[in-house]
Amino acid sequence: MKVIISAAGTGGHINPGIAIANKIKEKDPKSEILFIGTNRGLENDLVPRAGYKLKTIDVYGLKKEFSLTNLKHIFQTIASRKDVKKIFDEFKPDLVLGTGGYICGPVFYVATSRKIPTILHESNAYPGKAVKMFSKKVDAVLVGFEDTKSKLEGCKKVVVTGTPTKIRKIEISEKRKKEILEEIGIRNDLPIVLIYGGSQGAQKINEAVTELIKSGKNEKYQIIWATGPKQYDIVKEHFEKENIYINNLKNVKVLPYIYNMEELMNISDLMVCRSGAMTITEVSIVGKPAIFIPLPSISANRQEDNALVLKKIGAAKMILNQDLNGQILSEEIDDIILDKLELEEMGKVANSIAPKDVEEKIFEEIEKVLKR
User: Which residue(s) pair with 98 in the sheet?
Assistant: 6, 120
- Render pLDDT for 160-173 as a digit per residue (tens, 0 to 9): 999 988 789 999 99
User: Per-residue pLDDT for 121 more than 90?
Assistant: yes
Ramachandran area for residue 101 (φ above 0: left; ψ -120 to 50: alpha; else beta): left
- Which amino acid appears at position 68 of this protein? L
User: Per-residue pLDDT for 193 more than 80?
Assistant: yes
| Interatomic CA distance for residues 2 and 20, integer angstroms | 13
Name the band, by pLDDT with cuts 50, 70 and 90, for residue 231: very high
Between helix 340-352 and helix 326-336 the angle, nearest 10°, is: 90
- What is the chain's mean pLDDT, rounded? 92
Instruction: For the sheet with 2-6, list strands across it.
Output: 53-56, 32-37, 2-6, 95-98, 118-122, 140-143, 158-160
Query: Which residue ranges form the domains of the chain, and what is each CATH number?
Result: 2-163+356-371 (3.40.50.2000), 174-352 (3.40.50.2000)
Residues above pLDDT 70, as percent of the chain: 97
CA atoms within 13 A on the CB side of 192: 23
CA 215 to chain centre: 30
74, 64, 193, 140: which is closest to 371 by C-alpha?
A: 140
| Interatomic CA distance for residues 141 and 156, integer angstroms | 8
Q: pLDDT: is 306 or 199 the higher one?
A: 306
Helix H or strand E segment including 106: helix 104-113
- Render pLDDT for 338-367 as a digit per residue (tens, 0 to 9): 999 999 999 999 999 888 899 999 999 999
Ramachandran area for residue 21 (φ above 0: left; ψ -120 to 50: alpha; else beta): alpha
CA atoms within 13 A on the CB side of 251: 19
| Interatomic CA distance for residues 27 and 1, integer angstroms | 11
| Interatomic CA distance for residues 222 and 315, integer angstroms | 21
Name the band, by pLDDT with cuts 50, 70 and 90, for residue 71: confident
Q: Label residue 165 exposed, middle or buried (CB < 10 Å: 0-12, 13-18, 19+).
A: buried
| Interatomic CA distance for residues 186 and 192, integer angstroms | 10
**CB distance 306 to 126 below 8 Å:** no
User: Per-residue pLDDT for 46 more than 80?
Assistant: yes
| Interatomic CA distance for residues 270 and 191, integer angstroms | 8
pLDDT of residue 299: 58
Name the band, by pLDDT with cuts 50, 70 and 90, for residue 64: low
| Interatomic CA distance for residues 320 and 293, integer angstroms | 6
Beta strands in the chain (DSSP E): 2-6, 32-37, 53-56, 95-98, 118-122, 140-143, 158-160, 192-196, 222-226, 252-255, 270-273, 290-292, 316-318
